A and B are shown apart, each in its own frame.
Chain A
Amino acid sequence: NAGVMQNPRHLVRRRGQEARLRCSPMKGHSHVYWYRQLPEEGLKFMVYLQKENIIDESGMPKERFSAEFPKEGPSILRIQQVVRGDSAAYFCASSTEVANEKLFFGSGTQLSVL
């Protein structure tokens, strides 16, 4: 049973470009969470999704950021018109039920904006 898969592991973008981060949850998991980790900081919640639904996006910046978790395929975190401040590690986690169960994290995508 493969773990949570995130790709790419590293992503380099120039300012103004778009970044697409992918997350395939563990088999059988229908809850996906995205977190962002800035250097020397803990992870900060961004968005919580279930299949085809955004449950909680209270941690997501209002502009340029969007997330989806379609019926088929991976969850996508999309950042439009990236800026240097978007440089961070972005982690995806999945679970079978609400997060009070054990969350399984992916290895993260390191986004670097030049």
Chain B
Amino acid sequence: AQTVTQSQPEMSVQEAETVTLSCTYDTSESDYYLFWYKQPPSRQMILVIRQEAYKQQNATENRFSVNFQKAAKSFSLKISDSQLGDAAMYFCAFSGANSKLTFGKGITLSVRP
């Protein structure tokens, strides 16, 4: 069974600064996908970024990028130039051959103006 661990329950960042959210996972599969989802107070689950395990290049989406370390089973999210609208819960998730998403417990990110 896969597990996803987000050990930091909350983090805070100054507006315009950079913050990194940590995530580790455990799996015996070699082909899988990793995701970061954002959940604002509206409760909507918004896909932030996706990484395919067979790709060595780290995924990037505008101000969001990941540091994917396959051997270490680590998948951190970096948010650059943080904005007030980035404040939300962030969930790391794993999807393997069985197509189910396994989520971490999430981290609450607050952005200080």
Contact = CB atoms under 8 A, between A and B. Distances in A.
Contacts of B44: 105, 107-108
A68 B95 CA distance: 23
Interface of B is mostly: strand
B11 interface: no
Given A42-B104, A42-B105, A102-B47, A107 B42 contact: yes
Given A41-B105, A42-B91, A102-B50, A48 B99 contact: yes
Contacts of B4: 42
Nearest to A59: B100
A59 B76 CA distance: 27
A18 interface: no
A100 B97 CA distance: 8
Size category of the B interface is 20 to 34
Contacts of B98: 56
Interface string A30-66: 0001010000111111001000000010010000000
Contacts, number: 56
A89 B43 contact: yes
Interface residues of A, number: 23
Tell me which of B44, B50, B104 has the highest count of chain A C-beta atoms within 10 A of its own C-beta: B44
Contacts of A98: 99
Nearest to B6: A42
B99 A99 contact: yes
A108 B37 CA distance: 15
Contacts of A69: none
Interface string B84-113: 000000010101001111111110000000
Contacts of B106: 40-42
Interface of A: 33, 35, 40-45, 48, 56, 59, 89, 91, 93, 98-100, 102-103, 105, 107-108, 110
18 contacts: A35-B101, A41-B105, A41-B106, A42-B4, A42-B91, A42-B103, A42-B104, A44-B103, A48-B99, A56-B98, A56-B100, A89-B43, A99-B95, A99-B100, A105-B45, A105-B46, A108-B44, A108-B45
